[in-house]
Structure 1
Amino acid sequence: MPHDHAIQCVHEPYLVVLSYLVSVLGSFTALQLAVAIPAATSVAQRMRAIVAAGAAMGGGAIWAMHFIAMLACNMDVPVAYDIGLTALSAVIGMVSCMFGLAIAGSGVFGWGKLVFAGVFMGLGVTGMHYSGMAAMLMPADTHYDMTLVAASGAIAVVASIVALWLAFNLRGAMQMFGSALVMGVAVCGMHYTGMAAASFVPNGAGDTVLAGGMSGDYLGMSIFVVTTAVLAGMLVTGLVRQRQRQLVEI
């Protein structure tokens, strides 16, 4: 339900675009790394592939996108972030993606397993988003439209099912890139639907509520720089290993 005195969130268009591009890069990197999961010849190799692909998807395509998109939201009150909850949201995002990949990629690939893994992963992504929202420190109370919260969760589940299907059924670089573009739209759709579900009402607490938190601008830009560098390194590694596998098969 809207509030008459709710604080308005005005999004910076260039940061919205940047959040989408980060999500696309994370998605493409995750798809490249996921190729190694079914190709693994040992449990250790399979676990490394799952961790790498899950970290790229959960940490890059979803979590980093989330906080850059939060930076895009300009409000008339100062905002900081609780470091513990911010870190927890990152863990939730990455672990849920790792488990989703592990479930969907175990044994014979099937739709029942895919849907189960997608629901698990989608709920984890939703938990990442709202724990990230809970990390916000500001002199305002957050209220949610539960219909839009449910819609954001549904988008996360559908996006997760699609992402997992793509991860185990695509091989060509152009197919993966096109799919990453679609995944970026889905991830952003989930985030901005979740943001639309929230309204922020001033509570008169003052700036003392920001004590102990990290500046939103500093956090967002730090996440962007570190995530982009890590994803670029992971992507190059994934491309090199895929090329090596192709040469061995020839």
Structure 2
Amino acid sequence: MPHEHAIQCIHEPYLVVLSYLVSVLGSFTALQLAVAIPAATGPAQRLRAIVAAGVAMGGGAIWAMHFIAMLACNMDIPVAYDVALTTLSALIGMVSCMLGLSIAGSGVFGWGKLVVAGVFMGLGVTGMHYTGMAAMMMPANAVYDTALVAASATIAVVASIVALWLAFNLRGAMQMFGSALVMGIAVCGMHYTGMAAASFLPNGAGNAVLAGGLSGDYLGSSIFVVTTVVLAMMLVTSLVRQRQRQLVEI
């Protein structure tokens, strides 16, 4: 139920679209990298594959999308971001994805294991989202609708289960691209449901509350540039390695 005196969040359409595109790029890169997990020949190689796919999924498809989407919410009040909580949210997102990939990709692949991995990963993604929300420094307090919070967590768990299934069952590039489009919708659905759960109520704190925080515009542009470059490099590297393996097998 929206609060009568809540600050309105007006979403910038181009940033909403940009957040979706970043999520699709991160999802496609993660799917390409996840192929190396079951193909790993030793613990070290497997760990590298899990870390790479986890960074792409948790850091790109989910966390970077999250902060770009948060910048899409224009509330006509100054907003900065706490450095420690922002960093913590990124770590939660990446580590939870690594954990999910590690559980789902160990031993014989099965639905029971997939669901357990998806629950761990989905709850981690939910924790990332609300930790990122807590990082907002502004002259307002966030009040949450528990039903929508529960809905966002459910979407995150379901999306995680789907993402893990896709990661270990798809091989074709076009299949992965189509799946990345679907994953982007699921990740954005989780985020914007979580945002809808929050009402921002003025607290009269003034701009002093922003001291020591990162500017939203600076953070958003930095995340977009760094994430796009890193994901592009990871994707190219993955595609080259896959091509080399195919040539060796011929």
Which band: TM-score by shorter chain? over 0.9
CA separation in 2, counterparts of 1:95 and 1:84?
A: 16
What one-letter code is carried by the residue in structure 1 that aligns with 2:120?
Answer: F
Shift of 1:246: 1.3
- Equivalent residue, structure 1, for 2:169: 169
What one-letter code is carried by the residue in structure 2 that aligns with 1:21?
Answer: L
Summarize the alignment of residues 23-42 of structure 1 with structure 2, pairs less than 5 Å apart. 23-42=23-42
What do the CA deviations read for 1:129-152 (whole angstroms, capped 9, x no partner)?
A: 000000000000110000000000
Residue ranges of structure 1 left out of the alignment (5+ in a row): none
1:68 aligns with 2:68: yes
CA separation in 2, counterparts of 1:110 and 1:3?
A: 45
What one-letter code is carried by the residue in structure 1 that aligns with 2:185?
Answer: V
1:151 aligns with 2:151: yes
What one-letter code is carried by the residue in structure 1 that aligns with 2:115?
Answer: V
What do the CA deviations read for 1:84-113 (whole angstroms, capped 9, x no partner)?
A: 000000000000000100000000000000
* Paired residues, number: 250
Shift of 1:76: 1.6
- Equivalent residue, structure 2, for 1:236: 236
What do the CA deviations read for 1:201-238 (whole angstroms, capped 9, x no partner)?
A: 00101000000101111101100000000000000001
Shift of 1:48: 0.2
Shift of 1:244: 1.1
CA separation in 2, counterparts of 1:188 and 1:82?
A: 23
- Equivalent residue, structure 2, for 1:129: 129
- Equivalent residue, structure 1, for 2:86: 86
What one-letter code is carried by the residue in structure 2 that aligns with 1:185?
Answer: I
- Equivalent residue, structure 2, for 1:20: 20
- Equivalent residue, structure 1, for 2:248: 248
What do the CA deviations read for 1:161-199 (whole angstroms, capped 9, x no partner)?
A: 000000000000000000000000000000000000000
CA separation in 2, counterparts of 1:228 and 1:66?
A: 14
TM-score normalised to the size of structure 1?
0.99
Residue ranges of structure 2 left out of the alignment (5+ in a row): none
CA separation in 1, counterparts of 2:93 and 2:194?
A: 15
What one-letter code is carried by the residue in structure 2 that aligns with 1:8?
Answer: Q
